[in-house]
């Protein structure tokens, strides 16, 4: 069993026997959605959903709900919807980045071209809200709508900041919150709402999700600099080649004066990107970025202590926070 699979197994075991049953039902629902739109779109939408990794966002939905509600339809709709939105953003990101690989597999853009990839992403987005509007509540639709709007705003900011190595840490963190953390936040909110939680409880669980989502993105950006294609499914320094300035480069520029005059547009080949990654790593910036992410995870776990959660739910959420770190260990 891989470390990722082991961590998910530990989370599910802590959460209780109802969680694997619900996760299986979410998978069935996602497969049915992918298969319901004709063979071409079904093939690409299905492949995108199937390559979704650990299903961290749907898992957060289920965990935030606590015990299984008497009528789990809204809970299952929320879990499916967040994964559909996440999958849609991946397809659209690959179009914008002209990315040939995603988790080591050919992207929809690489296989079918821009038009098909855009259509596939649009389909996944629309089905997310169709699922939630059918079986969710108005509050849950609003929560996912806020997260989706944030995703779009974050993408626009990232495009505005492309190639700009002078981006401030605060702006970078805000981008990460919009593009990644808000969907984690919405995942926890959807679960808490489906579980009948009061407003303060929903907000507190949302804050937990937002923090671990932010840490997730910071550590993902560290991986882009530190890891090979064998580890991540994409070439080392892909963000740099795309003109995306992330925390490791921002911190490295503060430590290495020779990077202050860097023109990122001149980094145009995988070899040049690898060389820049090595320069960034030599400054110690990766350790600093990891430390910031770990502090955010600690803050997220401390925030759970103020909530009256049953032991299994609290332990499972703590393990989710730990899993964000473990994947970068």
Return the structure tokens found at 93: 């990101």
pLDDT over threshold 80, residue 42: no
The CA-atom distances, in angstroms, between 117 and each of 46, 107, 112, 217 are: 13, 9, 7, 24
Q: How many helices (H) and strands (E) does the chain have?
A: 17, 2
Q: What backbone torsions phi and psi does residue 160 show, to the nearest 5 degrees?
A: -65, -35
How far apart CA 255 and CA 258 sit, in angstroms, is 9
204 or 39, higher pLDDT: 204
pLDDT over threshold 80, residue 70: no
Lowest mean pLDDT among 8-12, 160-164, 189-193, 232-236: 232-236
pLDDT at 329: 45
105 forms bridges with which residues in the sheet? 102
Closest among 255, 322, 313, 269 to 294, alpha carbons compared: 322
pLDDT at 284: 96
3-state secondary structure of 102: strand
How far apart CA 243 and CA 50 sit, in angstroms, is 29
Which residues touch 263 (CB under 8 Å, ≥6 apart)?
none
Q: What percent of the chain has pLDDT over 70?
A: 93
Query: Can you list the positions of beta strands (E) in the chain?
Result: 101-102, 105-106
3-state secondary structure of 106: strand
pLDDT at 1: 44
Domains along the sequence of the chain with CATH: 3-326 (1.10.600.10)
232 or 211, higher pLDDT: 211
How far apart CA 316 and CA 4 sit, in angstroms, is 15
Q: What is the DSSP string of 85-125?
A: HHHHHHHHHHHHHT-SEETTEE-HHHHH-HHHHHHHHHHHH
């Amino acid at each position: 069993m891989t470390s990722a699979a082991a961590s998910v197994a530990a989370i599910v075991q802590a959460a209780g026997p109802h969680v694997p049953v619900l996760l299986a039902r979410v998978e069935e629902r996602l497969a049915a959605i992918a298969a319901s739109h004709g063979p071409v779109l079904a093939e690409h939408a299905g492949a995108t959903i199937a390559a979704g990794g650990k299903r961290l966002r749907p898992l957060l939905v289920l965990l935030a709900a606590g015990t299984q509600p008497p009528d789990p339809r809204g809970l299952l709709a929320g879990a499916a919807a967040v994964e559909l939105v996440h999958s849609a953003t991946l397809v659209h990101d690959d179009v914008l980045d002209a990315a040939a690989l995603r988790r080591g597999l050919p992207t929809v853009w690489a296989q079918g071209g821009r038009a098909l990839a855009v259509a596939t992403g649009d389909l996944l987005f629309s089905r997310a809200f169709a699922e939630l509007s059918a079986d969710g509540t108005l509050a849950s639709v609003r929560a996912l709508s806020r997260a989706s709007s944030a995703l779009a705003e974050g993408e626009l900011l990232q495009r505005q900041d492309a190639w700009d190595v002078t981006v401030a840490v605060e702006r970078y963190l805000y981008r990460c919150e919009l593009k990644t953390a808000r969907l984690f936040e919405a995942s926890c909110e959807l679960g808490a709402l489906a579980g009948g939680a009061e407003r303060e409880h929903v907000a507190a669980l949302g804050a937990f999700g937002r923090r671990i989502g932010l840490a997730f993105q910071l550590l993902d950006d560290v991986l882009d600099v530190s890891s090979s294609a064998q580890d991540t499914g994409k070439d080392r320094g892909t963000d740099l080649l795309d003109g995306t300035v992330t925390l490791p480069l921002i911190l490295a520029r503060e430590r290495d004066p020779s990077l202050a005059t860097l023109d990122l547009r001149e980094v145009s080949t995988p070899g040049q990107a690898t060389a820049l990654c090595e320069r960034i790593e030599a400054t110690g910036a990766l350790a600093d970025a990891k430390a910031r992410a770990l502090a955010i995870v600690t803050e997220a776990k401390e925030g759970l202590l103020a909530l009256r959660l049953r032991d299994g739910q609290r332990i499972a959420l703590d393990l989710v926070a730990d899993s964000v770190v473990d994947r970068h260990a």
